[in-house]
């Protein structure tokens, strides 16, 4: 095991450019366990050209464009500053209006405006989502739960460095929906495994998910990364435990 060569390779991954929410750089170097639900198929079953649609936290707009959304009836929000101008450049030519959001409790839309609001892995205030939905409007969200990557984060960085709320789970969102007066159509929760086939791919991933790996760097975590490398050489992969849940709710 050439330690200097490994460090050089991992530092390259640590510094690799990242735009939008595009993980294609490591697509063939990791595998995610399939969830028992299909978020895209769920969304597609509700979307049609007559409905006004909002995609919250659109990232680089990749998922939204995959839905072939209707021009003039589709909106997107984004809160991550580096992505806002990128989203406008990519989505505006498709007739999609992009609006920045800096406060989950203050969305820049009128009451009762949207037929469908979708949200994959973006924070939200459910009462505010309910406000902007039309009566009988649908909210569809898939979320990253509070147990996501906690084990591997603790291994790399010490006792519970993960800054996400450990209470983010299905029970909490179901209670919020009940308190908001929304009708629950469907919901589910799962703890999938993700497999990395080289440690460089994991370094790229951990550097981006900085709220789950605060203070992560190749230099700081090099000894732990070497331990992961040894495990990978024995098994051909390392695995991490993730946490996902989803909700489909209707405004009453």
Q: What is the largest CA-CA distance in the chain?
A: 62
Task: Say how far apart CA 53 and CA 238 lie, in whole Å.
Answer: 39
Cα torsion 164, 129, 60, 195: sign:
positive
The pLDDT tens digits along the chain (252 residues) read 688 999 999 999 999 887 666 788 998 999 999 999 999 999 999 999 999 999 999 988 999 999 999 999 999 999 888 788 888 999 999 999 999 999 999 999 999 999 999 999 999 999 999 999 999 999 999 999 999 999 999 999 987 666 678 889 999 999 999 999 999 999 999 999 999 999 999 999 999 988 899 999 999 999 999 999 999 999 999 999 999 999 999 999
Q: Which helix (H) or strand (E) holds 56?
A: strand 53-56
CA distance 42 to 38: 6
Encoding tokens for residue 35? 């969830």
For tokens 């806002």, what's the residue?
A: 84
Instruction: Provide the β-strand partners of residue 239.
Output: 195
Give the per-residue pLDDT at 163: 67
What is the model's pLDDT at position 18?
A: 78
Give dist(CA 69, CA 220) in Å, integer. 44
pLDDT for res 20: 62
Express as a percent the part of the chain with pLDDT over 70.
97
What pLDDT, in 10s, does the model give residues 42-89?
999 999 999 999 999 998 899 999 999 999 999 999 988 878 888 899
- Bridge partners (DSSP) of residue 139 are 117, 249
Helices (H), ranges, 167-208? 170-180, 199-208
Euclidean distance between CA atoms 166 and 188, whole angstroms: 17
In angstroms, the CA 9 to CA 12 distance is 5
Strand locations in 124-229 (E): 133-144, 183-190, 193-196
């Amino acid at each position: 095991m050439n330690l200097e060569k490994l460090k050089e390779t991992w530092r390259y991954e640590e510094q690799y450019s990242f735009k939008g929410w595009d993980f294609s750089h490591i697509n063939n170097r990791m595998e995610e366990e399939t969830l028992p639900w299909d978020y895209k198929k769920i969304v597609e079953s509700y979307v049609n050209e007559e409905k006004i649609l909002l995609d919250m936290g659109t990232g680089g707009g990749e998922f939204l464009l995959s839905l072939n959304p209707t021009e003039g009836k589709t909106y997107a929000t984004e809160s991550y500053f580096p992505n806002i101008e990128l989203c406008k450049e990519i989505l505006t030519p498709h007739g999609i209006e992009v609006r920045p959001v800096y406060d989950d409790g203050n969305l820049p839309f009128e009451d009762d405006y949207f037929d469908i609001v979708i949200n994959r892995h973006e924070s939200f205030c459910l009462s505010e989502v309910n406000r902007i939905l039309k009566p009988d409007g649908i909210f569809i969200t898939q979320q990253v739960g509070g147990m996501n990557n906690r084990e591997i984060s603790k291994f790399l960085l010490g006792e519970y460095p993960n800054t996400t709320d450990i209470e983010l789970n299905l029970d909490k969102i179901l209670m919020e929906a009940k308190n908001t007066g929304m009708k629950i159509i469907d919901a589910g929760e799962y703890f999938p495994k993700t497999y990395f086939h080289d440690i460089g791919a994991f370094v790229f991933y951990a550097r981006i998910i900085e709220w789950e790996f605060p203070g992560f760097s190749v230099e700081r975590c090099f000894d732990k990364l070497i331990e992961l490398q040894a495990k990978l050489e024995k098994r051909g992969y390392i695995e991490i435990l993730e946490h996902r849940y989803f909700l489909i709710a209707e405004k009453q």
